[in-house]
Amino acid sequence: MRENGGFATLGFLYQEVLKIKDCVWKTKTPFASIRRIVQDDRFFFKIKPGLWALKEYKDKLPINLIPQKSIVKQQEFNHSYYQGLLVEIGNHKNFQTFVPNQDKNKKYLNRKLGDITTIDKFYKFSYDHIVQKAQTIDVSWFNVRKMPEAFFEIEYSTDIQSSLLKFVELQDFNANFVIVADKVREKEFITKLSLNAFSAINKRVKFMSYDKVSDWHTKTYELMIIERNIGVYSP
């Protein structure tokens, strides 16, 4: 964690800690041990779900990781953080990942979002008016045929209905649609999705809380490491 600037996601810790040759884990559950260790508040503190830091670095963290008094600044950090988690999940699943051009320079931890996505130009998989709408979605995953696999919209204070309207435009494609928001907004999501305007997609759009995204990111790293250890994952 020190080598990473005093902070790290659980997934990053899983990947890096197990590479230390002189470190012997006398347990069959090293992932659980790492989770338990970072919850020791004598040495660590939680920044966000799945993101931890050393207490000794509390005043040395990058400014974008420090909780902001400005609601707008805090929302911007939260938004780019969950975009980054979803991009990394997609990358590990061997999908090609994209974020809108206006988000490419936003920070995800100590990197720009544009530096962790795998494609710079959005694939023209359909008519121009559909592609123009799709490329504004917060995170897009594409398969090896350059067709959309999944679209994710991250909602803080914005209207969920706007994201659902984007998904309606994409209903003819075999892609997954996901709204990511605070758990308290799930009821609002259900209400909006039940409107007649969204009847064509109401069985296809999923709601995912921030905690679920964080858990998914962590478990993706766990699975990747297990698969690598048994020889079924090569990257």
Q: Which of 13, 32, 61 is the last residue of a domain?
A: 61
CB neighbours of 124 closer than 8 A, spacing ≥ 6? 131
Among the ranges given (9-18, 79-88, 140-149, 202-211), the one the predictor scored with the smallest mean pLDDT: 9-18
Look at residue 232 and tell me if it is in a domain: no
Instruction: State the total domains in the chain.
Output: 2
Look at residue 220 and tell me if it is in a domain: no
User: How far is 160 from 154, CA to CA, in rounded Å?
Assistant: 9
The stretch 92-97 carries a mean pLDDT of 96
Look at residue 224 and tell me if it is in a domain: no
What value does the mean pLDDT of the chain take? Answer: 90
Residues 191, 92 share a domain: yes
Tell me the per-residue pLDDT of 128-167, one tens digit each, with 9 for 90 and over. Answer: 999 999 999 999 999 999 999 999 999 987 889 999 999 9
The stretch 216-229 carries a mean pLDDT of 87
Look at residue 233 and tell me if it is in a domain: no
Residues 21, 44 share a domain: yes
Look at residue 225 and tell me if it is in a domain: no
Whether 70 has a pLDDT exceeding 60, the answer reads no
pLDDT band at 123 (very low <50, low <70, confident <90, very high): very high
Reduce the secondary structure of the chain to three states and give it as a string: CHHHCCEEEHHHHHHHHCCCCCCCCCCCCHHHHHHHHHCCCCCEEEEECCEEEEHHHCCCCCHHHCCCCCHHHHHHHHHHHHHHHHHHHHHHCCCEEECCHHHCCCEECCEEHHHHCCCCCCCCCCCHHHHHHHCCCCEEEECCCCCEEEEEEEECCCCHHHHHHHHHHCCCCCCEEEEEECHHHHHHHHHHHCCHHHCCCCCCEEEEEHHHHHHHHHHHHHHHHHHHHCCCCCC
Q: Take residue 70 and report the two structure tokens written for it.
A: 């400005």
Q: Which of 17, 41, 61 is the last residue of a domain?
A: 61
The percent of residues in the chain predicted with pLDDT above 90, rounded, is: 64
Residues 205, 134 share a domain: yes
The stretch 108-128 carries a mean pLDDT of 95
Domain that holds residue 12: 2-61
Residues 195, 97 share a domain: yes
The percent of residues in the chain predicted with pLDDT above 70, rounded, is: 91
The stretch 164-192 carries a mean pLDDT of 97
Residues 14, 115 share a domain: no
Look at residue 15 and tell me if it is in a domain: yes
Residues 56, 91 share a domain: no
Whether 72 has a pLDDT exceeding 70, the answer reads no
Residues 155, 105 share a domain: yes
Residues 198, 147 share a domain: yes
Q: Among the ranges 37-41, 222-226, 229-233, which has the highest mean pLDDT value? A: 37-41
The stretch 38-63 carries a mean pLDDT of 89
Tell me the per-residue pLDDT of 185-222, one tens digit each, with 9 for 90 and over. Answer: 999 999 999 999 999 999 999 999 999 999 999 999 88
The stretch 37-57 carries a mean pLDDT of 90
User: How far is 167 from 161, CA to CA, in rounded Å?
Assistant: 10
Residue 74 confidence (pLDDT)? 65
Look at residue 122 and tell me if it is in a domain: yes
Residues 165, 95 share a domain: yes
Residue 67 confidence (pLDDT)? 63
Look at residue 163 and tell me if it is in a domain: yes
